[in-house]
Structure 1
Amino acid sequence: MRNQSILCPTDFSPTASHAITYAVEMAEFYHVKVQLLHVVNKPFGDKHTRVFAETPDELIERMEKQAAEQMQEYIETLDANLPIESMICHGEVVPTILASAKQMNAGMIVIASHGRTGLNHFLNTNTAEKIVNKAYCPVLVVK
């Protein structure tokens, strides 16, 4: 951890922004860089339901462009004295986060948990929980 980067996935939610502040603080303490990651998930609807006004490829391209703009705006608001890099990938969220952590040899993953409980937890996949269970490196979950 002391000489490896910190991976911080974000969905641009307020909870994820809170997790990024933890990642930046830890990175400044250890003098390592932060790698922000946003995963553009496969859009719903594609060839089976025909609900798109644009093709799935056009939609993914638009989603990636919007995510890049949001990422740049967010990085500009951070008051960090260290390198912050960003990466936008598309695919399934959990496998993409885990593959990115492994590829960059992350020393730690800092991820937000939306704190869902009960039926809401049952109906919505818990990305943070899956990352904790499958990651090879330490994971800090921020609520």
Structure 2
Amino acid sequence: MSYKNILVAVDDSPISYAAVEHALSLAQLTHGNVTLLSVIAVDPFVGVDFYKIAPAVTDYFMQAEAHAKSRLDEIKQSFDRDGINVSTKLYHGVPAAEGIINTADEINADLIIMGSHGHTGVKKFVLGSVAQNVLAESHVPVLIIKH
């Protein structure tokens, strides 16, 4: 199978950057198009009115968005240097796994590449697993990069 539309989900973690390196190598081999995605997840307190209007919260999300855009632009340069057709996308307002799945559908991705922190037990239960949710919901192959 040839992967022509590769979606790469990135965050600030080192494992995310390892996923980027895998995507770069695979895109070079397949001459595929790459979409770099960062999801600013929905806030768990979104239903609490006083929380939504707090200036500190607004500032936090504005800073998170600016940081994500900067990170995507920085990663994009690696693909540009190697002549790979790359675009960036920022998705917000939904849980991370939902943003990844929605974007994969929007761009007609035929592969999703992402890192997994490998949390198990209570940590996985409390934090959830974005990778596990994407694996369960995705209609396209998912390449999970682990430590």
TM-score norm. by structure 2 comes to 0.84
1 CA distance for matches of 2:108 and 2:51?
40
1 CA distance for matches of 2:131 and 2:31?
25
Find the partner of 2:93 among 57, 76, 91.
91
Indicate the RMSD between aligned Cα atoms, in angstroms: 2.3
TM-score norm. by structure 1 comes to 0.86
Match of 1:64 in 2: 65
1:51 deviates by 8.8
Match of 1:106 in 2: 109
1:126 deviates by 0.4
Structure 2, unmatched stretches of 5+, are: none
Match of 1:121 in 2: 124
Tell me the amino acid that sits aligned with residue 121 of structure 2.
Answer: G
Structure 1, unmatched stretches of 5+, are: none
1 CA distance for matches of 2:4 and 2:101?
16
Equivalenced residues, count: 143
1 CA distance for matches of 2:13 and 2:43?
19
1:89 deviates by 1.1
1:25 deviates by 1.0
